[in-house]
A = this chain, B = another copy of it.
Amino acid sequence: MESDAGFKAAVEEAKKGAAEGGIPIGACLVGADGKILGRGHNMRIQKGSATIHAEIAALENAGRLPASAYKGATMYTTLSPCDMCTGACILYKVNRVVLGENKTFVGGEDYLKQRGVEVVNVQSSECEALMKKFIHDHPEDWYEDIGE
């Protein structure tokens, strides 16, 4: 499950973000049938954006969809989702959130579970290394991204 196309796409997106000089977090929304609905990465640096986190980018790139499209869907993300992205997953009733790691940041995992969303932590050392490097090199950009 955790090594499937959705998680691979999320990691690819995180690496794209890193290559662009951005915050290296990627996400990919996969429907119940296993097909990718949308994918994207954090665009704070690239677009001067306060809201285009990876999960928001994936949802936005999936476009307008009826509620039925999110039924049984999984949000793959390379990092524990922040409160905004947690809320976005709850809004659209995504079934499951698979996250790369939560060693560099712990987001709304407990609240997701409380609202009935399954949470899986892949504990990816690759995702962790991407974040650790970015936080080391650009701490001010990272803390801005999480409102701290």
Contacts and interface: CB of A to CB of B under 8 A. Distances in A.
Nearest to A57: B51
Nearest to A55: B51
A44 interface: yes
Contact of A87 (B49, B88, B93): B88
B44 A50 contact: no
Given A87-B86, A146-B91, A60 B50 contact: yes
Interface stretch (A5-13, A65-73, A122-130, A131-139): A65-73
A60 B66 contact: no
Give the oligomeric copy count: 2
Contacts of A87: 82-88, 90, 108
A93 B62 CA distance: 28
Contacts of A70: 147
Interface string A19-54: 000000000000000000000000010001111100
22 contacts: A48-B64, A49-B60, A49-B64, A50-B59, A50-B64, A51-B59, A51-B88, A52-B60, A65-B144, A67-B147, A83-B87, A83-B88, A83-B90, A83-B91, A83-B115, A84-B90, A87-B90, A87-B108, A91-B146, A92-B147, A93-B147, A111-B111
